[in-house]
């Protein structure tokens, strides 16, 4: 079981951060909160078991991927424990489930290249998943993107992203560069319809954040597969047209745009969330107020949409920038795996999964800083949310498996 020096350093830093965070949480209370210590120990044990299993049975793959994922999850669980102990316990359970799914998928998938032949299955599943929330019609913060079954709620779009990427990878792997426009149309018309169908479902659900992510995934994969800038331009034009119609059709979309443009004018109503998030970030400064010494209670939806604002308040912008760098390294390691393999299906799948993570991070952080309209999606592996955790570890298992092929 070989391990290089960089991997040792990252693991030691991860253990150190975990111990520091949960020890700090424990001593914030008088008497000392031993539950925080126990939770930290459980997380360290899970990290150790995962690392041992991966290195013993799957030594060829990229070890940094799972370490980055565990590092982000540790930060998320610690912050959630600071905000709401019960939510943190649920997040820990989802983290354990995610680790189990990750390892089970590594065992169950012998070779991802064999799954390219299931293009029709990926297509059918995507078509079935995407309109589920429209049928259930459960509204949350103005969007109808949740499904509740027997008291258990989940977002179908979180799992739709996975099948969406797999379908596009299977559909684009056989693309051949042709000068004939009709031949290009024959190869791309079906993927184009699937992309439009997925975006239409998300717009109808008023789930703007997921629509941006799906668009980013499709745009990246189509450009890498074809290498033609004209398709990028066409995608942007169609997206602008679709956004215009969404703006005209839905009052919720108009309200989000209005609040984004003038948050301070609506600071007591619709813009309250954005304004309080910006206040929290600015009060934390470069190095933060310290864990437990901020005022996260003033930030609405602080366990999911605005958890990054809480992190910046208590740990500072430097720490927040460090988290963004980890996400960038996540994206880089995924793209690195794509360039080390020859199989087109695996290559496009890796690019799609990496783009999915990058787009989700950019959309939610852009919304927190009011760079783009607030969209209400989770920060991957950090925000509270079972659907997000499970789908991320599902994607991570696929990336891990592909990195072994390379």
Element (H, E) at 61: none
Other residues' Cβ atoms within 10 Å of the Cβ of residue 185 = 11
Give the integer Cα–Cα distance in Å for 346 and 166: 9
How many distinct structural domains can be found in the chain?
Answer: 2
Domain boundary among 107, 131, 155: 107
Q: In b/e form, how buried is each residue of 268-291, taking b as 16+ CB within 10 angstroms?
A: eebbbbbbbbbbbbeebeeebbeb
Give the integer Cα–Cα distance in Å for 5 and 3: 7
Domain boundary among 52, 85, 107: 107
Alpha-carbon dihedral sign for residues 363, 368, 372, 378: positive
Can you say whether residue 301 is alpha, beta or left, with left for phi > 0 and alpha for psi between -120 and 50 degrees? left
Q: Are residues 91 and 165 in the same domain?
A: no
Query: Angle at the Cα of 226 (from 225 to 232), degrees rounded to 5?
Result: 105
Query: Angle at the Cα of 101 (from 375 to 132), degrees rounded to 5?
Result: 45
Cβ-based neighbours of 276, under 8 Å, separated by 6 or more: 298, 299, 300, 306, 309
Task: Report residue 320 as tokens.
Answer: 């927040």
The CA-to-CA distance between both ends of the chain, in Å, stands at: 19
User: Which domain covers residue 145, as residue numbers?
Assistant: 114-405
Give the integer Cα–Cα distance in Å for 57 and 399: 16
**Radius of gyration of the chain, Cα coordinates, nearest whole angstrom:** 21
Dihedral pair phi/psi, residue 294, rounded to 5°? -90, -170
Name the DSSP class of 292: T
Q: Which residues pair with 143 in a beta bridge?
A: 140
User: If 0-12 CB within 10 Å is exposed, 13-18 middle and 19+ buried, where does residue 210 land?
Assistant: buried
Q: Are residues 276 and 372 in the same domain?
A: yes
Supply the pLDDT for residue 1: 46
Give the integer Cα–Cα distance in Å for 212 and 139: 19
Give the integer Cα–Cα distance in Å for 367 and 168: 27
Give the integer Cα–Cα distance in Å for 320 and 227: 34
Q: Are residues 370 and 352 in the same domain?
A: yes
Q: Cα-Cα-Cα-Cα dihedral of 291, 292, 297, 300, to 10°?
A: 20
Q: Are residues 130 and 92 in the same domain?
A: no
Residue at token pair 């925000």: 383
Q: Are residues 305 and 162 in the same domain?
A: yes
Taking alpha carbons only, the member of 69, 140, 156, 94 closest to residue 305 is 140
List the pLDDT tens digit at each of the 406 positions of the chain. 456 777 788 889 999 999 999 999 999 888 888 999 999 999 999 999 888 888 877 777 788 888 999 999 999 999 999 999 999 999 999 999 999 999 888 888 877 778 888 899 999 999 998 888 777 666 555 556 667 666 666 788 888 899 999 999 999 888 887 767 777 778 888 888 999 999 888 888 877 888 889 999 999 998 888 888 888 888 888 888 888 888 887 777 788 888 888 888 887 777 888 888 899 999 988 998 988 888 988 888 888 888 999 999 999 999 999 999 999 998 998 888 888 888 889 899 999 999 999 999 999 998 888 888 877 788 999 998 888 899 999 999 999 888 887 6
Give the integer Cα–Cα distance in Å for 144 and 70: 31
Q: Are residues 100 and 172 in the same domain?
A: no
Domain boundary among 78, 107, 136: 107
Q: Are residues 151 and 85 in the same domain?
A: no
Q: Are residues 122 and 98 in the same domain?
A: no
Cβ-based neighbours of 338, under 8 Å, separated by 6 or more: 346, 347, 348, 350, 351, 354, 402
Q: Are residues 342 and 326 in the same domain?
A: yes
Please answer whether residues 281 and 309 qualify as being in contact, where contact means their C-beta atoms are separated by less than 8 angstroms.
yes
Q: Are residues 265 and 124 in the same domain?
A: yes
Please answer whether residues 288 and 274 qualify as being in contact, where contact means their C-beta atoms are separated by less than 8 angstroms.
no
Task: Report residue 172 as tokens.
Answer: 């684009």
Q: Which residues pair with 369 in a beta bridge?
A: none
Q: Are residues 290 and 341 in the same domain?
A: yes
Q: Are residues 33 and 125 in the same domain?
A: no
Determine the length of the chain.
406
């Amino acid at each position: 079981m070989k391990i290089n020096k960089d991997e040792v350093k990252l693991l030691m830093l991860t253990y150190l951060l975990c111990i520091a965070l949960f020890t700090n949480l424990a001593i914030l209370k008088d008497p000392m909160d031993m539950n925080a210590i126990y939770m930290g120990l459980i997380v360290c044990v899970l990290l150790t078991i995962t690392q041992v299993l991966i290195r013993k049975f799957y030594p060829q793959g990229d070890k940094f991927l799972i370490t980055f994922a565990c590092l982000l999850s540790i930060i998320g669980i610690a912050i959630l424990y600071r905000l709401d102990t019960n939510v943190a316990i649920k997040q820990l359970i989802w983290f354990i489930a995610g680790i189990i799914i990750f390892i089970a998928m590594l065992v169950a998938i012998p070779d991802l290249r064999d799954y390219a032949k299931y293009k029709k299955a990926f297509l059918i599943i995507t078509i079935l998943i995407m309109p589920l929330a429209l049928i259930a019609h459960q509204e949350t913060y103005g969007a109808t993107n949740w499904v509740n079954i027997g008291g258990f709620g989940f977002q179908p779009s979180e799992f739709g992203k996975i099948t969406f990427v797999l379908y596009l990878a299977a559909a684009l792997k056989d693309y051949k560069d042709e000068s004939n426009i009709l031949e290009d149309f024959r190869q791309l018309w079906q993927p184009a319809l699937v992309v439009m169908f997925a975006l239409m479902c998300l717009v109808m659900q008023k789930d703007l954040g997921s629509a941006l992510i799906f668009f980013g995934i499709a745009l990246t994969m189509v450009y890498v597969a074809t290498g033609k800038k004209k398709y990028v331009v066409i995608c942007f034009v169609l997206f602008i047209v679709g956004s215009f119609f969404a703006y005209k059709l839905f009052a919720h979309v108009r309200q989000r745009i209005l609040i984004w443009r003038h948050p301070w004018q609506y600071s007591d109503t619709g813009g309250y969330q954005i304004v309080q998030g910006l206040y929290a970030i600015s009060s934390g400064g470069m190095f933060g107020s310290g864990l437990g010494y901020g005022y996260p209670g003033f930030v609405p939806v602080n366990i999911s949409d605005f958890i990054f604002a809480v992190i910046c308040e208590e740990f500072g912008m430097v720490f927040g920038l460090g988290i963004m760098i980890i996400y960038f390294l996540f994206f880089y390691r995924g793209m690195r795996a794509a360039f080390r393999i020859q199989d087109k299906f695996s290559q496009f799948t890796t690019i799609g999964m990496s783009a999915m993570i990058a787009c989700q991070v950019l959309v939610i952080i852009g919304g927190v800083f009011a760079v783009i309209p607030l969209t209400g999606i989770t920060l991957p592996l950090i925000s509270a949310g079972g659907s997000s955790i499970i789908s991320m570890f599902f994607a991570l298992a696929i990336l891990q498996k592909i990195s072994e092929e390379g």
